[in-house]
Amino acid sequence: MSIKKKLKNNIFKLSNIPCIFSIDYDRVLMNKDAIYPNELESLEEILDKESGLVETNKLIAQNRDAQLQIRVISVKHFENRNDFDAIYLKSIDRESYSKEFEKISINKAFELLDVDVSCNMEYYLNNHDELENDLKRKVNESELKEEKLEQELFYNLMCKCFGNDSESFDDITQNDNKTDNIYRKTCMLKDFRVNFSTNYYYGTAQRENYYFVFEYVF
- Per-residue pLDDT at 166: 64
192 residue type, one letter: F
- 128 versus 169: which is more confidently predicted? 128
- Per-residue pLDDT at 103: 95
- Per-residue pLDDT at 213: 97
- 197 versus 43: which is more confidently predicted? 43
Q: What are phi and psi of 149, to 5 degrees?
A: -65, -45
- How confident is the model over 139-160, as a mean pLDDT? 89
Task: State the CB neighbour count (10 A cutoff) for residue 124.
Answer: 21
Can you give the pTM of this predicted structure? Answer: 0.90
Compute the distance between CA of residue 96 and CA of residue 126 in angstroms, rounded to an integer. Answer: 46
β partners of residue 202: 195, 215
- How confident is the model over 90-101, as a mean pLDDT? 89
Residue 34: is its pLDDT beyond 90?
Answer: no
- Per-residue pLDDT at 218: 80
Residue 196: is its pLDDT beyond 90?
Answer: no
Among residues 181, 149, 154, 150, which one has the least CA distance to residue 170?
Answer: 154
Cis peptide before 35 (omega within 30 of 0): yes
Predicted confidence (pLDDT) per residue in 152-188, tens digit: 999 999 999 998 866 656 776 655 554 454 557 889 9
